[in-house]
Structure 1
Amino acid sequence: MLKSDLIQRLATENPHLRPVDLVRAVEAVLQTLHRGLSEGRRIELRGFGSFAPTVRRAYVGRNPKSGERVEVPDRLRLGFRAGRALRQRLNPAPRSPTPPPSPG
């Protein structure tokens, strides 16, 4: 889903809100998430999941073309862990088969 798809869906589900206000709201939420992550903070959205920057340690790599050793510095990467409600929605529990009717 693209950001524009999200805004369109919100507009459809909330016809009383002006589209320009929805755009501003989505932009504000994304800007706040971006700012928090860039400051190294963990962000948790209950029921959806959590985003957390983690450090990928420095290592010595190799240039695939020349074989030369290359020092790769520490880097921040973004991790995401789905919340319980999202996991359950994506992978619903299998339904148990209904028992056959009892004779009689």
Structure 2
Amino acid sequence: MTKQEFINLYQKKMGIETKKESEKLVSGLFSTLEEILEKGEDLSIVGFGKFEVITQAARTCRNPKTGEAIEIAEKKVVKFKVGKGLAEKVAKYI
């Protein structure tokens, strides 16, 4: 599903009159999530899941073409752990 498809679905589900308004709400949600994660803070939504920022350690990998060792620097990444409620709902459709 694309962002635009999500906005359209959100508009219908919430009964919002204009696409512009629903796009503003969805963009605000994503923007707020980005701000929280940029600060290095975690966001837990009970029943849905937890977004957290973790630090991946530096490591050595190999270039598959040449076999040459490559150093990959330490970096921060976003990790999502699904909540029990969402996991159970998704499992029903598998």
Shorter-chain TM-score range: 0.7 to 0.9
TM-score (norm 1): 0.75
Q: Equivalent pairs: percent with the same residue?
A: 25
1:86 aligns with 2:86: yes
Task: Identify unmatched segments of 5+ residues in structure 1.
Answer: 93-104
- The equivalences for 1:40-55 within 5 A come to 40-55=40-55
Residues 17 and 44 of structure 1, relative CA distance in 2, 3 Å threshold:
farther
Aligned to 1:102: none
The residue type paired with residue 78 of structure 1 is V
Q: 1:43 deviation in Å?
A: 1.3
Taking the aligned partners of 1:15 and 1:79, their CA distance within structure 2 comes to 32
RMSD: 1.7
Query: CA offsets, 1:36-64, max 9 Å, x none?
Result: 11221111122211111211100122333
Aligned to 1:101: none
Aligned to 2:5: 5
Q: 1:16 deviation in Å?
A: 4.5
Taking the aligned partners of 1:33 and 1:61, their CA distance within structure 2 comes to 32
Instruction: Give the SS at the match of 2:78.
Output: strand
1:15 aligns with 2:15: yes
Runs ≥4 in structure 1, deviation > 6 angstroms?
none
Task: Identify unmatched segments of 5+ residues in structure 2.
Answer: none
TM-score (norm 2): 0.82
Taking the aligned partners of 1:10 and 1:71, their CA distance within structure 2 comes to 43
The count of corresponding residues between Structure 1 and Structure 2 is 92
Structure possessing the higher radius of gyration over alpha carbons = 1
> Is the contact made by 2:16 and 2:22 (CA closer than 8 Å) also made in structure 1?
no
**Structure with the bigger percentage of helix:** 2
Name the structure, 1 or 2, with higher relative contact order (CA <8 Å, separation 6+): 2
